[in-house]
Structure 1
């Protein structure tokens, strides 16, 4: 519980941050690096040209990849939107903030849920000091443009500027085409495309704040449902030869609009003379939606703890530090970006803030180095309706947890206690369950996951659902 009103706490954070910055980090504001952070919604691991797609066209993102460090084993903190974003903002695993899923944790037919899920928070509590608040304390102007999904206004969580951010998880009103009504973004005329407009707002922000430093969180609603592309791009992909893996013209059009956004924003950075002092990050909040794209060769899709639901594209360009065309295979996760941004900008960790993530700066300086971390974890004690349950049920996922340790990955299903073990080095598609043939590895990973759950007070659902019917099918 906060001892001060939110406004007073913000003032104290700002004053403390400016004092620490002036004492410990005597850097002129213009020398602090800007950060442009593209955060895409529901983009799958293979939905980009540089990741192997032969149908979707992403020349600007592919060019950025050639200038960046490419993280091949990067993960979201959850298989769907809100918990992933809460972990990104706080640098904490989901049990720390209590946002486990989107909305109701009981999504799906009540009669086929064996357990009562853990209750879910839908708003990020004011007690947490977000990465944007930390950067504000170091003199950064901060802007959130696009999807927020953690409450009614990101300006209560450390952003100076909010364009189109509310508690909504997908575009409101007419979807991606105007007319629409968002905070600081209203257009009554039909036809404007939301991704394009957010891009224009981002470019104007860069121009207005080119004296820096700034943190631009361009968090596109795309490529989340509804699947709506610009008509001319949809027509283009309807005429293009489809592939077995990727063959959705409307989704392809949405991805091209995201790619155009990356190109336009980076052009604005260059035109303002900021290219050598701007860090660029490109990431996604969870795996591709199975109704729109394929995540193959990964198993599963959005809403699942299989690789297709949580493994993401991640690019980081840090001028003067990263080298072009470098690839890093170290497992990293969304909570790592908070401490990474702090180290990149010489921003002190504010008093009382504890982070679960690790800074990636050592990897960015030397892609062959490793992080001193035994494992990364997921905790999803909720239900999501939809196809995908490997055990024949009607859910994308039942309550579950997962751990990745080295090349090994374990998934535990809380309804049944079932354990699945995979070696991602030899079985990226998680086709062969090794839980019976590798009992020592199974025990090692499961013990580590239990210890982690105890450390973060991760609740496991155990209460039977009184309306459950044993015959699920």
Structure 2
């Protein structure tokens, strides 16, 4: 028996009687992809301008029509300063499912790249370890039926990125330009979907449907590079409807608003990857659409326009309609009042903050709803982080953290019950690529440091990968040069080694005060050092000496 199964056997025995004393909540995590909470991103909509970035929700003041997410906020708590510790998809999803900093991953790939004693470069190289505990495994071992719908991106990266390795592992290949409706391609897609389903199930999920192993482009087919909210929502609804007497946990991760950009049109005026796309195209083949549980795409567009919203925001309403269908299914089942819903995003995307520790990447929308417990329409303005989701859920479900399993976060239950007099964190840690940062309500300090091998290459005049240009003399924070290029273009202090920002007076983080505020800088550096010394044996400049 795997070590995590032995641990869970002890947990079940010790907590079965406790959990029987009161009805445990159902749990749903809804995790959108690349979404900031800022309402001012696309104010240009009002002037008819073309949007440039992902939009937020009306509950956060955005000029969009999202009545179902608004309803979720009205019966729950809205967080105004929710953050993630790492600002790209994979490590953030790892943290969401473990409550642990990404650098703690037990994934073989990451630990092979960064053995003890070496500096880590956390990005899309983090995976759940094969025997590592995560929220699904813990809940499954405590009597919960567990479900997974949507985007994974936290296991088997090598098989996904190197297609021949995937073929060796049992996946079938097809051409980039092939037609998904072709019988052979359709069969290959169904086969691959089943193989990935079994792989994901092994991480603690009883039910796995309508899943994507990674981003849409990682399906390696031009016609599959489109979103399909109905397809994912249908599986989520079916899971809820099929859940019997046992409480359930659903991890629901849509592919939007990550690119391909759902607000962009093709040369013929169509939203080519979103509302005007073919609803029969799915990652498991060509399927007849049976989506009468939510409005049609044309109805959604008409509703958006008739209500006076910009048509390019209709993709938000499309997402919202899918979530509304899920909420309706919960209500019909009589489960809504006792379902704890954590509604968030994996990271932000404002002003190309993705892959950085700026607010545009760290800040995310977060709404937590549990009508039986949380006062509707409440809000919390304090610092919270995605490391806090798992301990919150475990406390709500009356499940103790397993012995020997380190969780970095703390439960949000005190804030959910008493937002006026609660402090969750005085400071939080950020970690991405070659940078580490610490944030308080007023200040943020970001440090950029390089391992010795990179220093030597820089001193010898070596060049590092660049995007759409010759090599550059200084590396981007992350290996993905496309993300690095955009992040550097959108954030003027990107390459500076020490950065200090007054978040109250400079929320855009444009003015680096590191030299002007030496006392504050020293205090924030010491605070960052305290955080980093709690992590495994991976040095980071002077902070871990």
Q: TM-score under structure 2 normalisation?
A: 0.67
More helix by share: 2
Q: Structure 1 residue 156 and structure 2 residue 190: aligned?
A: no
Distance in 2 (CA, whole Å) between partners of 1:79 and 1:339 is: 21
Provide Cα deviations, 1:390-409, integer angstroms capped at 9, x if missing partner.
Answer: xxxxxxxxx21111123211
Partner of 2:431: 379
Larger radius of gyration: 2
Q: Structure 1 residue 69 and structure 2 residue 84: aligned?
A: no
Please give the residue correspondences for 1:331-410 in structure 2 after superposition, counting only pairs within 5 Å. Answer: 331-371=383-423, 373-381=425-433, 399-410=434-445
Provide Cα deviations, 1:92-150, integer angstroms capped at 9, x if missing partner.
Answer: 11221178x99xx9xxxxxxxxxx97487443212421011111122101111111111
Tell me how far 1:210 sits from its aligned partner. Answer: 4.6
Is the 2:27–2:248 contact (alpha carbons within 8 Å) kept by the matching residues of 1? yes
Residue number among 203, 207, 212 corresponding to 2:241 in the alignment? 207
Is the 1:118–1:460 contact (alpha carbons within 8 Å) kept by the matching residues of 2? no
Distance in 1 (CA, whole Å) between partners of 2:538 and 2:378 is: 39
Q: Structure 1 residue 26 and structure 2 residue 20: aligned?
A: yes
Tell me how far 1:240 sits from its aligned partner. Answer: 5.6
Is the 1:401–1:412 contact (alpha carbons within 8 Å) kept by the matching residues of 2? yes
Distance in 1 (CA, whole Å) between partners of 2:533 and 2:24 is: 39
**Greater shift in the superposed pair: 167-176 or 65-74:** 167-176
Is the 1:58–1:255 contact (alpha carbons within 8 Å) kept by the matching residues of 2? yes
Gap change, CA 1:219 and 1:336, over 3 Å in 2: same
Distance in 1 (CA, whole Å) between partners of 2:126 and 2:439 is: 27
Gap change, CA 1:138 and 1:171, over 3 Å in 2: farther
Distance in 2 (CA, whole Å) between partners of 1:313 and 1:281 is: 10
Tell me how far 1:25 sits from its aligned partner. Answer: 3.3
Tell me how far 1:259 sits from its aligned partner. Answer: 0.7
Provide Cα deviations, 1:156-201, integer angstroms capped at 9, x if missing partner.
Answer: 22111112446423365487976x9xxxxxxxxxx9x621111111
SS of 1:135's equivalent in the other structure is: helix
How many residues are treated as equivalent by the alignment?
401
Partner of 2:35: 43
Please give the residue correspondences for 1:427-442 in structure 2 after superposition, counting only pairs within 5 Å. Answer: 427-442=506-521
Q: TM-score under structure 1 normalisation?
A: 0.76
SS of 1:455's equivalent in the other structure is: coil
Provide Cα deviations, 1:331-364, integer angstroms capped at 9, x if missing partner.
Answer: 1011100100000010121121111000000000
Gaps of 5+ in 2: 39-55, 114-118, 157-198, 262-272, 277-296, 451-494
Please give the residue correspondences for 1:151-230 in structure 2 after superposition, counting only pairs within 5 Å. Answer: 151-152=155-156, 153-165=199-211, 167-170=213-216, 172-173=218-219, 194-227=228-261, 228-230=273-275
Partner of 2:332: 271
Is the 1:229–1:253 contact (alpha carbons within 8 Å) kept by the matching residues of 2? no
Gap change, CA 1:117 and 1:351, over 3 Å in 2: closer
SS of 2:373's equivalent in the other structure is: coil
Gaps of 5+ in 1: 106-115, 181-190, 289-294, 382-398, 463-473
Gap change, CA 1:170 and 1:76, over 3 Å in 2: farther
Partner of 2:49: none
Distance in 2 (CA, whole Å) between partners of 1:51 and 1:458 is: 40
Is the 1:143–1:159 contact (alpha carbons within 8 Å) kept by the matching residues of 2? yes
Distance in 2 (CA, whole Å) between partners of 1:23 and 1:166 is: 38
Provide Cα deviations, 1:8-32, integer angstroms capped at 9, x if missing partner.
Answer: x45434432321222443336xx21
Tell me how far 1:439 sits from its aligned partner. Answer: 1.3
The alignment yields a C-alpha RMSD, in angstroms, of 3.4
Provide Cα deviations, 1:212-261, integer angstroms capped at 9, x if missing partner.
Answer: 30001111112211222112569949x969x9xx9782xx3332221111
Distance in 1 (CA, whole Å) between partners of 2:141 and 2:57 is: 36
Partner of 2:10: 16
Distance in 2 (CA, whole Å) between partners of 1:119 and 1:32 is: 35
Q: Structure 1 residue 128 and structure 2 residue 132: aligned?
A: yes
Distance in 2 (CA, whole Å) between partners of 1:406 and 1:435 is: 17
Is the 2:103–2:122 contact (alpha carbons within 8 Å) kept by the matching residues of 1? no
Gap change, CA 1:67 and 1:458, over 3 Å in 2: farther
Q: Structure 1 residue 53 and structure 2 residue 98: aligned?
A: no
Tell me how far 1:68 sits from its aligned partner. Answer: 1.3
Is the 2:228–2:274 contact (alpha carbons within 8 Å) kept by the matching residues of 1? no
Distance in 2 (CA, whole Å) between partners of 1:19 and 1:420 is: 50
Distance in 1 (CA, whole Å) between partners of 2:316 and 2:223 is: 15
Residue number among 378, 392, 398 corresponding to 1:326 in the alignment? 378
Partner of 1:262: 323
Distance in 2 (CA, whole Å) between partners of 1:404 and 1:310 is: 10
Partner of 2:481: none
Tell me how far 1:431 sits from its aligned partner. Answer: 2.5
SS of 2:10's equivalent in the other structure is: helix
Gap change, CA 1:256 and 1:210, over 3 Å in 2: farther
Is the 2:106–2:129 contact (alpha carbons within 8 Å) kept by the matching residues of 1? no
